[in-house]
Amino acid sequence: MIPGRQEGSVPVARPWRLVLGLGNPGVDYNSTRHNVGFDALDLCASRFQVDWKTDKHVMLAEVPDFRCTLVKPLTYMNRSGVALRQTWLHYGLEETTSIFVVTDDFHLPLGGMRIRAQGSTGGHNGLASIEDVLGCQDYPRLRIGVGNPGNNSVNFVLDTFSKAEEPIIEETLMTASWAVEDWVKEVPLEDLQARYNRRKPQAE
């Protein structure tokens, strides 16, 4: 018998968790800077060998072995919180530490990555929408650097990467997908930060 458990008791299942990759739906937004959250989750879904299914405002890929679901909102970036609210209620989540948000960040150099337990939106509309739903900034997130937009951030994040940038972002997305996979496997956030946080890409 397991120490501390009374005979005949039923083990308590771990709470379900969500990985929310931010982006915009539709072919017009494929491979754009704003969609790196989608792209990283696509790599994870492929490695976990799970399929995407559409459910109202979201695309879901459940990873039952780890009691976790990958989520891509279909509500467009500015309403990412709507998709989060739907999945949050569906899975009966209670703690904001049960979600992990993957998003682009033009404040980070191309290929940089930063994992944090909390923080401001940094002017990111998707994170602002999530904060409105949660009522706080205390949720873990992975920011993926997509480069400096100069004076036109709107057009910049909706543009694709240049040929010169492609090798850097490909390596970065693969590394980001490993970070997501480690979070799914319950590697502590402090260990993820030590392992993956970086200012510069590896493929320069």
Annotated catalytic residue within 34, 90, 107, 124:
34
Count of CB atoms situated within 10 Å of the CB of 160: 13
Give yes or no: 90 in active site.
Answer: no
Is the Cβ–Cβ distance between 198 and 172 less than 8 Å? Answer: no
Could you give the dihedral angle defined by the CA atoms of residues 189, 22, 39 and 92, in that order, rounded to the nearest 10 degrees? Answer: 60
Helix (H/G/I), strand (E/B), else coil: 179? helix
- Measured CA to CA, the distance from residue 89 to residue 84 in angstroms comes to 8
Residues with catalytic function: 34
